[in-house]
Amino acid sequence: SQQGEEDPQALSIQEGENATMNCSYKTSINNLQWYRQNSGRGLVHLILIRSNEREKHSGRLRVTLDTSKKSSSLLITASRAADTASYFCAPQGGSEKLVFGKGTKLTVNP
Amino acid sequence: EADIYQTPRYLVIGTGKKITLECSQTMGHDKMYWYQQDPGMELHLIHYSYGVNSTEKGDLSSESTVSRIRTEHFPLTLESARPSHTSQYLCASSDPQREYGTQYFGPGTRLLVL
């Protein structure tokens, strides 16, 4: 299992703006998952992108994956105050275990 | 919302006490996990289980122990709590055969050891 590194560590935007956060990893993967964590709560699974996919959408979320650069990005469009949370990526290779980094702390100001 | 539950949600306890953090899920998942997370920091896997009577230590060494006697139940026990155990503990489960290893998390237990 390998850890993803999220960037930036913190991001502050205004409501209605788009938020982009990035994830880099080191070795080949089968899929990559993104999770959200509201303050003091458990993680919630947002989206999974497989290694043979380049882009995936779910509502206001858009995830891209570039396996040649070993990186992924999560875009949240038209952000809302309720999107304020920490976002974690979890690259997954052969192991079923996930390793989480420190995440990106997103603050959406009303 | 995932069908995975943790109790208690908050616990304040004195040094030396024995505590058990409960985790249960109703999704029939074979795989379950315990993570430890300090505020603003990454999650560290401390225990996992691939099914009944299976338990393994995770990537972060922990003085806690776990058991898996029933599929739906994965309690974590600290025999003698210390202030260094103060943290948030998150339980999760997954069914890799159906959902590529997507993990479902409980709400967490915040532990404060005085």
State whether B101 and A92 contact (CB < 8 Å): yes
d(CA B7, CA A102): 25
The band of B107, judged by pLDDT with boundaries at 50, 70 and 90, is very high
Q: Return the residue in A30, A43, A50 with the most chain B beta carbons within 10 A, the one to mutate for interface testing.
A: A43
B2: pLDDT confidence band, cut at 50, 70 and 90? low
Contact criterion met (CB < 8 Å) for B45 and A31: no
User: Which is nearest to A95 in space by CA: B52, B33, B77?
Assistant: B33
Task: Using the structure block, give the residue that is written with the tokens 């999704």.
Answer: B27
Instruction: Output the CA–CA distances (angstroms, integers) from residue A105 to A34, A90, B21, in the order listed.
Output: 13, 16, 28
Task: Dump pLDDT digits (tens) for B24-72.
Answer: 999 999 999 999 999 888 899 999 999 999 999 998 888 999 999 999 9
pLDDT above 90 for B111: yes
Contact A19, A106 (CB under 8 A): yes
The answer to whether B101 contacts A100, with C-beta atoms less than 8 Å apart, is no
CA–CA gap between residue A46 and residue A64 (Å, rounded)? 13
Segment (H or E) for B98: helix B96-99
Distance from CA of A44 to the nearest CA of B (A): 7
The DSSP result for B50-88, as a single string, is EETTEEEE-SS--S-EE--SBTTB--EEESS--GGG-EE
